[in-house]
Chains A and B, each alone.
Chain A
Amino acid sequence: MIEVSDITKFYGDFPAVTGISFSVEKGEILGFLGPNGAGKSTTMKILTGFMPPTSGTASIAGFDIVEESLNARKHIGYLPETVPLYLDMTVSDYLAFMGNIRGMNGKEIAQRRSDVIEICHLEEYSSTIIGKLSKGYRQRVGISQAILHEPDVLILDEPTIGIDPIQVVETRQLIKDLGDNHTLILSSHILPEVSLICDRVIIIHEGQIVAVDEPENLGTNLSGVERVELEVKGPNREILAVLESVDGVQEIERDTVTGGAFHRYQITVDLGKDIRSDLAKVVIQNNWELLKLQSLGMTLEEIFLRLTIEEQQLNPEPEHAQ
């Protein structure tokens, strides 16, 4: 449904996106994940035909986004991250206008408009001037216009930002439901959100794809690190020295709240190595008391941070890498 091949975008001589390729199947929900300035919005603006890529090609529903832009755009519903709205129009006039310019006729608009107003819980505000709505409600108006014409492809740039925690649960469910009969790309900074909604996640950092996987696999396959929590009774300095010498240990942090001879350590270890038995062994060999030894799964945030930070360390100036 969406094919992206080797897309690069320069703003002046700054490469916002470099060599991005991916494809999205019909009915799939794809998440774009990345820190600020990663290039998520830029990629979406290219896919929606707002601006052409500097190089590379992409197609939506079989239509090239540059050569057959108009046809490609007919299949897209788009929520830009700034949620642009005509502030002096009422919600229902706005939706009617958006329907009109997407080629819907009066009957279709009347039908779908009341549907999306219901779906996005805007019933009370349908005749309110958009400029008077709060941010969260504007966000909902933005979503409602994106789904109004039942497009094949939905592109939502940070759709849940500004929506309150209760509604956000519902909005996520809504997006998940939309994924049943739409092909959907959404961007987010929030990993749990993406892992909840998406079938597949692309992590973008500094304009490049650093990881692609199903959310469940990100934790094990991509993190490159795991953590172990260890509680020991013994002399801190010696324990630290011994632990550091164990093969596979990357970093040790001591929990500062512990006192006396009792210590709790958080140990970051290499990917795929279970060094718990090695750790237990050295503790016992030194006749310290082993109170606790537990593997801590990494949270998605930690994976995300580590992934992007490691990338940075490998590639301090990726702009000049190519």
Chain B
Amino acid sequence: MNNLIAITAKETKAYFAMPSAYVVGAMFLVLTGVFFVFDISSPFAEAGVRGLVDWASFFTIFLAPLLTMRLLAEEQKLGTLELLLTSPVREWEVVLGKYIASLAMLLAIQFVTLYYVLMIYVFGDPDSGPVLSSYLGLILHGAAALAIGILGSSLSANQIVAAVVGTAVLLFFTFIDRVSSLVEGAPGGFLNAISMDGRLSDFTRGVIDTSHVIYFLSLIAIFVFLTIRSLETRRWR
């Protein structure tokens, strides 16, 4: 437990001291903001967070791997993983500590998007229920994206490779439903079931469907677990 706290604290501190994290975060906020304002200024705009969630979740596909790419790739490149893994630390403590730190950074960035929500409240009169459920959805989606990103980071000592792998897997989960309609029967149904698409739109309608919550929590658990395994098998390579 102490190890977990130590690793989480160190990584969180590193994030908030890292200029690149701010650059990536700022890019995410600007892009999300620009597209959201573009949406909301159309004549048919609704006073809600739907457009904001759509764009924020889309750009999270790129944000999350950029945030996580460093976590384990750099340790491999610098060789510090050798010191970490020869200390009395368990692999899950390393992975979970780093994952929690990346979640803290993501939450901080998502927190800033509340500024856009504030604007919606100033210029319109949105329902607060869907706003809250939307943010639950965004956080779950972002957390799952980070879990996928950290697996990418464990697979390579090269941060670019780590980010590309993470983004590719995320794009797969996001757009697989487009393919699943072409696939017959059970495999098609399976692809549909593992797709992220459509899940966030339920949240933006104010519906918290437990199957969606379980879906995202499962993704997090599976990818964090795979990362731990990936680190454990490194020893045997």
Measured between beta carbons, the chain B residues less than 8 angstroms from A71 are 88
B1-45: which have CB < 8 Å to A? 2-3, 6-7, 10, 14, 17-18
Q: Which of A24-32, A94-102, A193-201, A272-280 contacts B (4 or more CB under 8 A)?
A: A94-102
Minimum distance in angstroms from B12 CB to a CB of chain A: 12
Measured between beta carbons, the chain B residues less than 8 angstroms from A52 are 235-236
Contact partner of A48 (CB less than 8 A), chosen from B3, B81, B86, is B86
Minimum distance in angstroms from B77 CB to a CB of chain A: 10
0/1 string, B36-71, CB within 8 A of A gives 1: 000000000000000000000000000000000000
Contact partner of A78 (CB less than 8 A), chosen from B3, B7, B83, B236, is B83
Minimum distance in angstroms from A12 CB to a CB of chain B: 10
Minimum distance in angstroms from A307 CB to a CB of chain B: 30
A305 to B37, CA, bound (A): 74
A254 within 8 Å of B (CB atoms)? no
Minimum distance in angstroms from A231 CB to a CB of chain B: 53
Contact partner of B78 (CB less than 8 A), chosen from A87, A101, A145, is A87
Establish whether residues A97 and B6, one from each chain, have CB atoms under 8 Å apart when the complex forms. Answer: yes
Measured between beta carbons, the chain A residues less than 8 angstroms from B17 are 88
Measured between beta carbons, the chain A residues less than 8 angstroms from B236 are 51-52
A49 within 8 Å of B (CB atoms)? yes
Establish whether residues B87 and A101, one from each chain, have CB atoms under 8 Å apart when the complex forms. Answer: yes
A318 within 8 Å of B (CB atoms)? no
Establish whether residues A85 and B86, one from each chain, have CB atoms under 8 Å apart when the complex forms. Answer: no
Contact partner of A50 (CB less than 8 A), chosen from B2, B3, B86, B89, is B86
A316 within 8 Å of B (CB atoms)? no
With A100-B3, A103-B2 as known contacts, state yes or no: A49 contacts B82, CB within 8 Å. Answer: no
Establish whether residues B79 and A82, one from each chain, have CB atoms under 8 Å apart when the complex forms. Answer: yes
Establish whether residues A97 and B10, one from each chain, have CB atoms under 8 Å apart when the complex forms. Answer: yes
Contact partner of B79 (CB less than 8 A), chosen from A84, A98, A101, is A84
Measured between beta carbons, the chain A residues less than 8 angstroms from B3 are 100-101, 103
B193-237: which have CB < 8 Å to A? 235-237
Measured between beta carbons, the chain B residues less than 8 angstroms from A145 are 83
Measured between beta carbons, the chain B residues less than 8 angstroms from A70 are 88, 90
Contact partner of B89 (CB less than 8 A), chosen from A80, A82, A85, A101, is A101
A84 to B85, CA, bound (A): 12
Contact partner of A73 (CB less than 8 A), chosen from B6, B7, B86, B237, is B86
A80 to B84, CA, bound (A): 11
B128 within 8 Å of A (CB atoms)? no
Measured between beta carbons, the chain A residues less than 8 angstroms from B10 are 89, 97
B80 within 8 Å of A (CB atoms)? yes
Total inter-chain residue pairs, C-beta < 8 Å: 65
Minimum distance in angstroms from B231 CB to a CB of chain A: 12
Establish whether residues B88 and A45, one from each chain, have CB atoms under 8 Å apart when the complex forms. Answer: no
Instruction: Please tell me the number of chain A residues within 8 Å of chain B, measured between CB atoms.
Output: 27
Nearest B residue (CB) for A49 = B86
A18-77: which have CB < 8 Å to B? 45, 48-52, 70-71, 73-74, 76
Contact partner of A86 (CB less than 8 A), chosen from B2, B80, B82, B88, is B80
With A88-B14, A88-B17 as known contacts, state yes or no: A49 contacts B85, CB within 8 Å. Answer: yes
Establish whether residues A80 and B6, one from each chain, have CB atoms under 8 Å apart when the complex forms. Answer: no
A308 to B229, CA, bound (A): 41
Nearest A residue (CB) for B5 = A100
B140-182: which have CB < 8 Å to A? none
A51 to B89, CA, bound (A): 14
Minimum distance in angstroms from B17 CB to a CB of chain A: 7
Nearest B residue (CB) for A44 = B86
Establish whether residues A84 and B80, one from each chain, have CB atoms under 8 Å apart when the complex forms. Answer: yes
Establish whether residues B235 and A50, one from each chain, have CB atoms under 8 Å apart when the complex forms. Answer: yes
A154-182: which have CB < 8 Å to B? none
A322 to B97, CA, bound (A): 45
Establish whether residues B6 and A100, one from each chain, have CB atoms under 8 Å apart when the complex forms. Answer: yes
A76 to B81, CA, bound (A): 16
Establish whether residues B6 and A101, one from each chain, have CB atoms under 8 Å apart when the complex forms. Answer: yes
Establish whether residues B79 and A80, one from each chain, have CB atoms under 8 Å apart when the complex forms. Answer: yes
A49 to B236, CA, bound (A): 11
A52 to B234, CA, bound (A): 10
Minimum distance in angstroms from B79 CB to a CB of chain A: 4
Measured between beta carbons, the chain A residues less than 8 angstroms from B235 are 50-52
Give 20 A-B pairs besides A89-B14, A97-B6 with Cβ atoms closer than 8 angstroms: A45-B82, A48-B86, A49-B86, A51-B236, A52-B236, A70-B88, A73-B86, A73-B88, A74-B88, A78-B83, A80-B86, A84-B78, A87-B78, A88-B14, A97-B10, A98-B87, A100-B2, A101-B3, A102-B88, A103-B88
The 4 closest A-B pairs by CB, nearest first: A84-B79, A100-B6, A48-B86, A84-B80
Write the residues of chain A forming the contact surface with B, with a CB cutoff of 8 angstroms.
Answer: 45, 48-52, 70-71, 73-74, 76, 78, 80, 82, 84-89, 97-98, 100-103, 145
